[in-house]
Amino acid sequence: MWINYLYLSNLFVLQLRQSALKKEDADLQLEMEKLERERNLHIRELKRIHNEDQSRFNNHPVLNERYLLLMLLGKGGFSEVHKVRV
C-alpha cells in the first residue's frame, strides 16, 4: 500500500513537471517565432537602406524640380519606387 502511494505521488509530480515543461516549450516556441519575424524585418530594412544608399537618385533629393524624394520604398530590376512629397 505504501509503495503504491509513493508510486502515485511520484507519477503525479512527474506529470506536473511534464505539463510545466510543455508550457515552457510552447512559450519558447512563440518567443522564437516573434524573434524570427523581428529578424526578418530588420534584414528587410537593412536591404532597403543599402538600396537607398546605392540609388541612382541618391544625390538628387528633388526630382524634376517638383518631387522631393523622402525614402526608397522598393527596387526592381529596372526601376525604383520612392516615397515623395510634391
pLDDT surpasses 80 at 27: yes
Q: Which domain holds residue 11?
A: 2-85
Query: How do residues 34-81 score in pLDDT, each as one tens digit?
Result: 999 999 999 999 998 998 888 888 887 888 889 998 888 888 888 888
Bridge partners of 81, per DSSP, are 74
Burial of 51 (0-12, 13-18, 19+ CB in 10 A): middle
- What is the count of structural domains for the chain? 1
Q: How confident is the model at residue 2 (pLDDT cuts 50, 70, 90)?
A: low
> Residue 44: its pLDDT value, please?
92
Where in the chain does DSSP place strands (E)? 62-63, 67-75, 80-85
3 state SS of 67? strand
Contacts of 48 (CB under 8 A, 6+ apart): 72, 73, 74
